[in-house]
Structure 1
Amino acid sequence: MKQQNLKSWIKSGAPGIWISGGAVSIAVIMTLGLLLLIAYRGLGHFWPADLMQARYSIPGQESRLILGELVEAEEVSRARLKSAGFPVADDGPEFMTRDLLKVGNRDVNGSDFTWVIGNWLSEQSYPDELIALERREWGNFYGYPVSLKQDGQLVAEGAAVWPALEERLQRTRSLSEALRKIEKKDVNAINHGLERLRLKTRKLELEGTLDAAAQADIDAQRAEFEERYKVLESELGRLHVEVSRDTLVLREIGGQEKEISLGNIVKALQPNNMSVFAKIKTYFANLWSFLSDDPREANTEGGIFPAIFGTVMMTMLMAVIVTPFGVLAAVYLREYAKQNALTRVIRIAVNNLAGVPAIVYGVFGLGFFVYVLGGSLDRLFFPEALPAPTFGTPGLLWASLTLAILAVPVVIVATEEGLARIPRALREGSLALGATKAETLWKVVLPMASPAMMTGLILAVARAAGEVAPLMLVGVVKLAPALPVDGNYPYLHFDQKIMHLGFHIYDVGFQSPNVEAARPLVYATALLLVLVIALLNISAVSLRNHLREKYKSLEH
């Protein structure tokens, strides 16, 4: 009886349902677990950790003081510690704690991370007066305040340093912001104008139309730019002097005193003396800086805003390019082409294109778009700039076109499936009412197939936004802090190289000279890339659902 019930249960299909449900559940749990791990490892980096001071006593060596942030701790076997070079006694404990400390002070210690044996740490304390500095160069610096100086003259010392430091740092930040604005915006605009004048002069020379009047006009414009630059140069010199006016003297744990210009300090904290509310406020400030600032120190510090902007800009440009081409191809194959052996071969080819490795598209984009098409555009429209390439070099446009070629098979397949699901009676009814085939297609068929088009676009964005290999060949670089959109004509620079979150993860994770500093940024950037792709997909899904509801009544 039980055997018969078991056979009936198997024949009912219930085992398949349970297996499918279990597989989906496991996949969801694994995905959520991965995202939680990435979020924990990445977002925890921005919390202002306490600074620990301790005495480190290595057996057989003189003890020394050590200062830093505890990054991670792990239980390690005695044999593994021995193989790592630690003088562990044979009769010691089988397992010991190994701690990774961020000791900062790279210009003093040579490295800002070190591994220590937790069992050998003693006299641990967290002094309130310790200061943690985030610097524009050489990473963090940890130490005790000694004095604050203005133009070499003593302003404050000891406990009075911190209140005076906060006030002067605010002044220095305002001056640094004005300095960066002039350098990135005003000076860049002048350089852009001078370069355009140079190209204009060269163009007139090639055309043989550089007469005295044209030369005088160009000289007048150049003189105007140079005059503006002299004013900015004077202002820049004044700001540089003002920014470097104040200096802070800190004493590191080994007793050495270090004088640091306030212009080199991004932010200063006393983490051991901060309340929970102050740490939460600092945490979100650090997170915002990560999202809005430019990268520093070989991408291991600072923010990733250029990479966010480049990723979103390239993906949106790809979507604008791929949608019309994919839809037109699908409409031709479904509505106009004769359904014979040739169209079947074309469909097979389109399906196979979706499985071609992405790097192949990158090689195609480099060879065709950059060298052939870009080189031809340079010879036709930018001869005055040669031999320096304008479009004959990797850039935003070629990266977007390469991604569009990569994603167009997905859009074609999804759109064609959507067109196939539209009842033939709707087409015949439209034609019977006097509409032409083009009008039927434009006003009836395509609106009803728009949810399928959006599905194709969603799949295209999901695949293209995370690609890295082809982009390394056609326009994405390690560092491009200048955005492709600015106030200089023509405002959107398709020829400019960009940064990308996927390539940023690869560069920071595998090419960084400071692996320990880069590790949390890899997790944080990976999480951000997932969120950016999810946001783009959610926007497309909401639009698709809106279109589906709008045209649902026409299907019945």
Structure 2
Amino acid sequence: MQVSLKKWVASGSPWVWLNAGAVAISVVLVLGLLGVIASRGLVHFWPASLQQYQYTDDQGMHIPVLGERVQREQVTAEQIRNAGVSVPQGMQTLDRQLIKVGNRELYGSDFRWVLEHQLSDLQYPKHAVALERREWGNFYGYIVGIKENGQLIAEQEPGQNQLWDEVQRRAERAGDIYQRIQSLEGGTIAALNYELEKLRIAERSLQLQGQDSAQNLAELQAQKALLQADYATQEAELMALYTPFKRDTLLLVSADGQHKEVNFSEVVRLYQPNALSLWQKVQHYVLKLVEFVSDDPREANTEGGIFPAIFGTVLMVMIMSLIVTPFGVIAAVYLREYASQGLMTRIIRIAVNNLAGVPSIVYGVFGLGFFVYFLGGNLDQLFYAAALPAPTFGTPGLLWASLTLALLTLPVVIVATEEGLSRIPRSVREGSLALGATKFETLMRVVIPMASPAMMTGVILAVARAAGEVAPLMLVGVVKLAPNLPLDFNAPFLHLERKFMHLGFHIYDVGFQSPNVEAARPLVYATALMLVVVIAVLNLTAIGIRNRLREKFRALDM
């Protein structure tokens, strides 16, 4: 028995099983973490039922409460007493619920903790309405009337549903007008403002160069007059849309009898959660997910979507990859193929390895001082003096963020590429040289193509690290809310000087800087899941490219 055990240990099988067990546990932990993030984030978009209770306060008053149940937990009586709430004698533990009551302008807060023993008469009113607004969060209540141009044109008792079809029709009308307004403001008018600003800078440039002759200025003024005429036309069309946009008003009443008027221009979506069928709830859920991925944020980033953050993250990683890959490959090729393998080369390799361990915030400080203030400031003085004192490149932006992260991930690419170059057999190089190729031709046509899978491994590691970094970006370009995307239809189309949004910073901002913590919590999980998905997609794309390269050059390796 002992001999068999020794043979089994000597064969290495225990270590194989230990490794397999460790990998299995790691996979389970990762999947469990992703499951927790997904379950806490994605459930936020499901249309929860509206529950109405009779809440009995400490003075014995009965107050109707309407809202969504968000959380249920058990607390000790001592915790409740410490919060200044009376507890019936003999109760050691109590159950309480976190209810999203909405109606922030009426109650001061969207959420309310209530003890279950103070709740009674639970109901699910079929015609209770959930109203998503552009400001002030959700409103929960009942429809009681409609106004048009300030005049009451229809009304009903709370809980009735005669006006529902008309309310939906007017909400759709307001939504269509809103889309046209957004198209004008964010498209045509924004492009005209951009062109007018370019003319202003061109005029200022002529003045600084002493070339502001009447003829030169006349040409600019003629272009400016055409743009201003077009702007006036678009502005008149915009004003013509705003009048019907704000025409209709919805009259609502909360569960406790407080009346509220909401203009249809403020409405994002309204629905009756308790009247939705399962299929309608699924449609609502999918629509909310699409909105989350494709829309702009609102309400201090606690509502709406995260598209600018997704776009900014992907664009920054792509630009960073385009910058870091050639520099990392060139440095690795020099260290492995050209530099003499002496003391200085060993010192450089040690320095490169040590750079990989420098805290990322240090790179951010360096990027702010060198890229933004030094390079950007000098670029503004040389090429954008007409725009001063407003900086163009002398302020944090997409280019400096990409360069900073390229510097941060450069050691990873260098090390991975060097390892790939070292694995190529010497006989391959010698065979190429023997056939008459120069050393440069051998590198470009044989060695580097064969090492390209290792280069892609370095890029994959760089992408994975850069996409999740937040600390340096806070100094060199990321913002809470970017007014414009870095890529648009205005020449030169890619605006490297603009600030941008990032998923990692969005998580930090929503989770730690939001004035509405309870509303922000599910969005933190949803955004974290989206960041994982974006990193996974970027890495899988790079892995696919690497595998194709590996298959292409497998014959050479053999």
TM range (shorter): over 0.9
Aligned partner letter, 2:30: T
Give the corresponding residue for 1:458.
460
Segment drifting more, 539-548 vs 9-18:
9-18
Which secondary structure state, in structure 2, belongs to the residue aligned with residue 65 of structure 1?
strand
Give the corresponding residue for 2:235.
233
Segment drifting more, 184-193 vs 493-502:
184-193
Give the corresponding residue for 1:543.
545
Which secondary structure state, in structure 1, belongs to the residue aligned with residue 152 of structure 2?
strand
* C-alpha distance in structure 1 between counterparts of 2:5 and 2:331, whole Å: 52
Give the corresponding residue for 1:360.
362
**Structure 1 segment 373-412 matched on structure 2, within 5 A:** 373-412=375-414
Give the corresponding residue for 1:120.
118
Aligned partner letter, 1:124: L
**Structure 1 segment 162-181 matched on structure 2, within 5 A:** 162-181=164-183
Change beyond 3 A, Cα 1:60–1:154: closer
Change beyond 3 A, Cα 1:79–1:344: same
* C-alpha distance in structure 1 between counterparts of 2:60 and 2:223, whole Å: 71
Shift of 1:127: 0.8
Which secondary structure state, in structure 1, belongs to the residue aligned with residue 491 of structure 2?
coil
Give the corresponding residue for 1:343.
345
**Structure 1 segment 94-173 matched on structure 2, within 5 A:** 94-158=92-156, 159-173=161-175
Which secondary structure state, in structure 2, belongs to the residue aligned with residue 160 of structure 1?
coil
Aligned partner letter, 1:412: I
* C-alpha distance in structure 1 between counterparts of 2:445 and 2:3, whole Å: 58
**Structure 1 segment 137-536 matched on structure 2, within 5 A:** 137-158=135-156, 159-536=161-538
Shift of 1:9: 4.4
Which secondary structure state, in structure 2, belongs to the residue aligned with residue 465 of structure 1?
helix
Aligned partner letter, 1:99: Q
The answer to whether residue 552 in structure 2 is matched with residue 554 in structure 1 is: no
Give the corresponding residue for 1:37.
36
* C-alpha distance in structure 1 between counterparts of 2:80 and 2:491, whole Å: 61
Shift of 1:8: 4.9
* C-alpha distance in structure 2 between counterparts of 1:90 and 1:13, whole Å: 65
Aligned partner letter, 1:90: Q
* C-alpha distance in structure 1 between counterparts of 2:13 and 2:424, whole Å: 33
* C-alpha distance in structure 2 between counterparts of 1:137 and 1:229, whole Å: 29
Give the corresponding residue for 2:70.
71
* C-alpha distance in structure 1 between counterparts of 2:510 and 2:405, whole Å: 23
Equivalent pairs counted in the alignment come to 554
* C-alpha distance in structure 1 between counterparts of 2:84 and 2:185, whole Å: 49
Answer yes or no: is the 8 Å Cα contact 1:294–1:481 preserved in 2: no
Answer yes or no: is the 8 Å Cα contact 1:148–1:156 preserved in 2: yes
Which secondary structure state, in structure 2, belongs to the residue aligned with residue 311 of structure 1?
helix
The answer to whether residue 48 in structure 2 is matched with residue 46 in structure 1 is: no
* C-alpha distance in structure 2 between counterparts of 1:239 and 1:443, whole Å: 62
Which secondary structure state, in structure 1, belongs to the residue aligned with residue 468 of structure 2?
coil
CA deviation string 1:277-306 (max 9, x = no partner): 000000000010011111111111111100
- Consecutive unaligned residues of structure 2, counting only runs of 5 or more, are none
* C-alpha distance in structure 2 between counterparts of 1:313 and 1:500, whole Å: 10
* C-alpha distance in structure 2 between counterparts of 1:508 and 1:59, whole Å: 35
Shift of 1:526: 0.2
* C-alpha distance in structure 2 between counterparts of 1:405 and 1:427, whole Å: 31
TM-score (norm 1): 0.98
* C-alpha distance in structure 2 between counterparts of 1:299 and 1:416, whole Å: 43
Aligned partner letter, 1:132: A
* C-alpha distance in structure 2 between counterparts of 1:4 and 1:416, whole Å: 45
Aligned partner letter, 2:181: L
Aligned partner letter, 1:108: L
Change beyond 3 A, Cα 1:171–1:327: same
Shift of 1:529: 0.1
Shift of 1:238: 1.4
Give the corresponding residue for 2:79.
80
* C-alpha distance in structure 2 between counterparts of 1:309 and 1:224, whole Å: 34
Answer yes or no: is the 8 Å Cα contact 1:156–1:164 preserved in 2: no
Answer yes or no: is the 8 Å Cα contact 1:306–1:481 preserved in 2: no
Segment drifting more, 269-278 vs 379-388:
379-388
Aligned partner letter, 1:450: S
Aligned partner letter, 1:78: A
Shift of 1:487: 1.5
* C-alpha distance in structure 2 between counterparts of 1:489 and 1:37, whole Å: 44
Shift of 1:534: 0.3
* C-alpha distance in structure 1 between counterparts of 2:444 and 2:115, whole Å: 72
* C-alpha distance in structure 2 between counterparts of 1:254 and 1:403, whole Å: 54
Aligned partner letter, 1:283: Y
CA deviation string 1:368-419 (max 9, x = no partner): 0001111111111111111211101000000000000000100000001001
Segment drifting more, 239-248 vs 52-61:
52-61
Aligned partner letter, 1:518: A
Shift of 1:546: 0.7
* C-alpha distance in structure 2 between counterparts of 1:284 and 1:481, whole Å: 27
Shift of 1:16: 3.0
Which secondary structure state, in structure 2, belongs to the residue aligned with residue 537 of structure 1?
helix
- Consecutive unaligned residues of structure 1, counting only runs of 5 or more, are none
Shift of 1:157: 2.5
Answer yes or no: is the 8 Å Cα contact 1:134–1:266 preserved in 2: yes
Shift of 1:7: 4.9
CA deviation string 1:447-501 (max 9, x = no partner): 1101000000000000111000000000001110410111112111000000000
Which secondary structure state, in structure 2, belongs to the residue aligned with residue 124 of structure 1?
strand
Instruction: Quote the sequence identity (%).
Output: 60
* C-alpha distance in structure 1 between counterparts of 2:366 and 2:506, whole Å: 23
Aligned partner letter, 1:41: R
Shift of 1:60: 4.0
* C-alpha distance in structure 1 between counterparts of 2:290 and 2:483, whole Å: 17
Aligned partner letter, 1:527: L
CA deviation string 1:59-78 (max 9, x = no partner): 44312111100011112222
Answer yes or no: is the 8 Å Cα contact 1:189–1:488 preserved in 2: yes
CA deviation string 1:154-202 (max 9, x = no partner): 3332222211011111111110000011111122112111111111111
Shift of 1:152: 2.3
* C-alpha distance in structure 2 between counterparts of 1:301 and 1:312, whole Å: 22
* C-alpha distance in structure 1 between counterparts of 2:556 and 2:7, whole Å: 42
Aligned partner letter, 2:496: F
* C-alpha distance in structure 2 between counterparts of 1:441 and 1:5, whole Å: 52
Which secondary structure state, in structure 2, belongs to the residue aligned with residue 223 of structure 1?
helix
What CA RMSD, in Å, does the superposition of the two structures yield over aligned residues?
1.2
